[in-house]
A and B are shown apart, each in its own frame.
Chain A
Amino acid sequence: MSNSTWNLDPSLESAAQVHIKPQYELFIDGKWQAPLSKTYFDSVNPADESHIAKIAWANDSDVDLAVLAARSAYENVWSKLSGAARGKYLFRIARLMQEKAKELAVLETLDGGKPIRESRDIDIPLACNHFFYYAGWADKLQEAFAGQQISALGVAAQIIPWNFPLLMLAWKIAPALACGNTVVLKPAETTSLTALKFAEICQEAGLPAGVVNIVTGYGDTGAALVGHPNVDKIAFTGSTAVGKQIQKACIGTAKKLTLELGGKSANIILEDAPIDQAVEGVINAIFFNQGHVCCAGSRLFVQESIADRVLEKLKFRLQSIYVGHPLDKNTDIGAVNSKKQLETIERYISLGIAEGAEMYQPDCTLPSKGFYCKPTLFTEVAQSARIAQEEIFGPVLTIHTFRTMEEVVQKANNSPYGLAAGVWTSNGARIFGLSQQLQAGVVWANTYNKFDPASPFGGYKESGFGREGGRHGLSAYLKFSN
């Protein structure tokens, strides 16, 4: 039998069962309401730049209505329910999400550009499980914080990014509701659809009106929400720059704040690492979700004695990473979320070259329409290069070498960010020793980008404060008094 090429055929997931309305209103007080702003904006499919739907653009007055609805629901309904009852609503929501998993996955991919394999196997299951997890805490809060006086905060304003739309929604809404708060959530403007589908699920679950409100819009909508005086708590996931603006806006108010911001996480391979699994870990760390991950392992530190070998293996591995249409089940790297983001990434790539780093991209053809970027490696990168310091938020990896563990700890910590870190070694004592030294809220040893509802996630330094997930994730949504 001769050596012919064997390539996978495209295997497109069908979008047939997904019901997308031509126009979406705001979800306020359990009803779909046309925006007082009378304005709508377009949602675009980044895979091919086609139009998906019109989304309502909430203005200050719309936000005001939403907060009012959340307040009323809190005072009159939600705060009067037992924890067990709140838990039952959350269980119902979780079940409905499970039942509609396929539809949600396809919708997420259409709207945001991430590969269907990831939305189907990672995003949606994690989102469902997050609701299941927090449903169970709702009537056990006192045990979670034994010996402390706890109560709900009231109305939570939540702003989420476009990289994991439904998952970030779950991370925000599930614990908030479990703890007895009501919410007004603003999804990112490029990815509103799964949040709006979630609103339908809330209706189907019989969730009391006003407990969850979804206001769609741009940054101005978010600002109005954050600035609203009748909000008790703000939870924001997004860029460090905006996070700082929000922190400023909270001065002089009693609003509780948690922030989950950017990162430039170090992924460290020691010479005694299980090298093939480490290489796979690098792939997962930077190319998962096209690198649109706050905790992406975007700086690879490899011990000098194995650096050439690791690079050789990385380049070989990239040959079987497919950049393609997000709905193709075999796509590994889908579409970049927006034109704006693609331009940002391309600017950084040019910058890297200008800064004297050596760039490598595998040979592959990108689709002609849509926003796509090849996986990119940079070697010969200085610690002081901007591409090594600033968050790129794309499939771009800077590779650095080190000689000793002391050196790599210093370099890894030499960043205003501190979200995550990866450590690859076959030596257990080093795992714990390095974990202790690294200034990161999440340390992954011999793995990367693993998430679980039971595992607390959050950053050190300018990567934010507060934790989401686990028992620790409840703290953000409770008032502690003595």
Chain B
Amino acid sequence: MEILKTYKLYIGGQFPRTESGRSYAVCAPNGKQLANMCQASKKDVRNAVQAARKAQAAWTSKSAFNRSQIAYRIAELLEARKVQFIEELQAMGLEKQSAEQEVQMSIDRCVYYAGWADKFQTLLGSVNPVASSHFNFSVPEAMGVIGVVACQQTALLGLISQILPVLIGGNTVVVVANSTQPLCAISFAEVLATSDVPGGVVNILTGEVSELLPTLSAHMDVNALSIAPIESKLLTTAQEEAIDNLKRVRIYAEPLYVKSAQGLSYISDFQEIKTTWHPIEQIAGGAGGY
């Protein structure tokens, strides 16, 4: 007799149940019940944001190289658990070949962003040739805590396409997973939990997007939102709620599960730019400036 798996939430590096005690059933296309998922509540959103905020300073202080090593480790562990993810995708209705392709692309995308972690700064930052005798440089900096409404069309690849670029940029995230196909999101949480990703850096909630998004988008301690395609009224409300603390809102209209859905812009979407000035002393008749 099998021991069936319980899918819980992932908050602060732990797997708690929803504080609301609610659950909802996830079924395969043929109606077979696959699992009971936790139906997360507003309070879970609150707890997740707290955890994300607590973890953010330390996460962004790690060296870029360290974050790249961790992202690469995520890829390694995803690779090691390939079979599990393929089976989950199939259970949720994908053909075997599509499932294999999605998992492979997910692994490759993790490797791709691992490679960006210690390079995007070179391309997004600059030394600026101001006209006065000052050394002036611009650097990208993480925005902070990012709320993510994950792609609702795919179970794994979309999620990864949204989380990885945000993560390697030094941000921490609170994710509202694909609500009808949430299994891979929580299994991915297990990968994160064993990949040297500090607790709280990624937090994953399962449940109703329409219930969780308003809390997330109104939360004054969330700095930005990453939103994959959702119902338009829900989207409009979210954008309105986001205005109070001037969240940076990125809406991805294009599909996130395709080969081209990766690049530098996905990283720069969640970076601030900080410019610093410092005088250049004029020595030996030099005029200063670059």
Contact = CB atoms under 8 A, between A and B. Distances in A.
A and B found bound together: yes
Interface of A: 84, 87-88, 91, 129, 132-133, 135-140, 143-144, 405-406, 409-410, 427-430, 432-434, 436-437, 453-454, 470-471
Given A91-B111, A139-B112, A437-B286, A428 B264 contact: no
Nearest to A135: B115
A137 B119 contact: yes
Contacts of A454: 64-65, 118-119, 122
B284 interface: yes
A432 B286 CA distance: 11
B282 to A, nearest CB: 6
A436 B278 CA distance: 13
B280 A129 contact: no
Contacts of A137: 115, 119
Contacts of A143: 123, 263-264
A91 B119 contact: no
B112 A84 contact: yes
A23 B114 CA distance: 39
Interface in B238-290: 263-264, 278-286, 288, 290
B118 to A, nearest CB: 6
* Closest CB pairs A-B (n = 9): A136-B115, A433-B281, A429-B281, A432-B280, A406-B284, A429-B279, A433-B283, A432-B135, A471-B122
Nearest to A405: B283
B108 interface: yes
Given A136-B116, A437-B284, 18 more contacts: A88-B111, A91-B72, A132-B69, A135-B115, A136-B118, A143-B264, A405-B284, A406-B284, A430-B283, A432-B278, A432-B279, A432-B281, A433-B282, A434-B281, A434-B283, A436-B290, A437-B283, A454-B122
20 contacts: A87-B115, A91-B111, A132-B68, A133-B119, A135-B115, A136-B115, A137-B119, A138-B115, A139-B115, A406-B283, A429-B278, A432-B135, A433-B281, A434-B281, A436-B283, A453-B65, A453-B118, A454-B65, A454-B122, A471-B119
A427 B286 CA distance: 17
A428 B65 contact: no
Nearest to A84: B108
Contacts of B112: 84, 139
A138 B112 CA distance: 10
Contacts of A140: 115-116, 119
Contacts of B119: 133, 136-137, 140, 144, 454, 471
Contact of A430 (B123, B263, B281): B281
A132 B68 CA distance: 9
Contacts of B286: 433, 436-437
B132 to A, nearest CB: 12
Interface in B114-132: 114-119, 122-123
Contact of A410 (B280, B282, B284, B288): B284
A137 B114 CA distance: 10
A447 to B, nearest CB: 16
B111 A409 contact: no
Interface of B: 64-65, 68-69, 72, 108, 111-112, 114-119, 122-123, 135, 263-264, 278-286, 288, 290
B71 to A, nearest CB: 10
B114 A136 contact: yes
Contacts of B69: 132
Given A88-B111, A135-B115, A471-B122, A429 B264 contact: no
B283 A428 contact: no
A132 B281 contact: no
A82 to B, nearest CB: 10
B121 to A, nearest CB: 8
B65 A132 contact: yes
Contacts of A428: 278-279
Contacts of B290: 436
A133 B118 contact: yes
A300 B282 CA distance: 23
A429 B280 contact: yes
A433 B68 contact: no
In the complex, which of the residues A84, A129, A433 has the most CB atoms of chain B within 10 Å of its own CB atom? A433
A453 B115 CA distance: 13
A258 to B, nearest CB: 19
B284 A409 contact: yes
A129 B123 contact: no
B286 to A, nearest CB: 5
A406 B281 CA distance: 12
A91 to B, nearest CB: 7
Contacts of B263: 143
A435 to B, nearest CB: 8
A65 B64 CA distance: 41
Contacts of B123: 143-144, 471
A427 B284 contact: no
B157 to A, nearest CB: 15
Contacts of B118: 133, 136, 453-454
B115 A433 contact: no
Nearest to B282: A433
Contact of B111 (A87, A129, A429, A471): A87
Contact of A427 (B122, B281, B288): B281
A139 B263 CA distance: 11
B116 A433 contact: no
A178 to B, nearest CB: 10
Contacts of B111: 84, 87-88, 91
Contacts of A429: 278-281
A189 to B, nearest CB: 33
Contacts of A139: 112, 115
A427 B285 CA distance: 18
A434 B111 CA distance: 41
Nearest to A146: B123
Nearest to B134: A432
B124 to A, nearest CB: 11
A162 to B, nearest CB: 27
Nearest to B69: A132
B227 to A, nearest CB: 25
Contacts of B285: 406
Nearest to B123: A143
A432 B117 CA distance: 28
Contacts of A133: 65, 118-119
Given A84-B108, A129-B65, A454-B122, A436 B115 contact: no
In the complex, which of the residues B112, B264, B280 has the most CB atoms of chain A within 10 Å of its own CB atom? B280
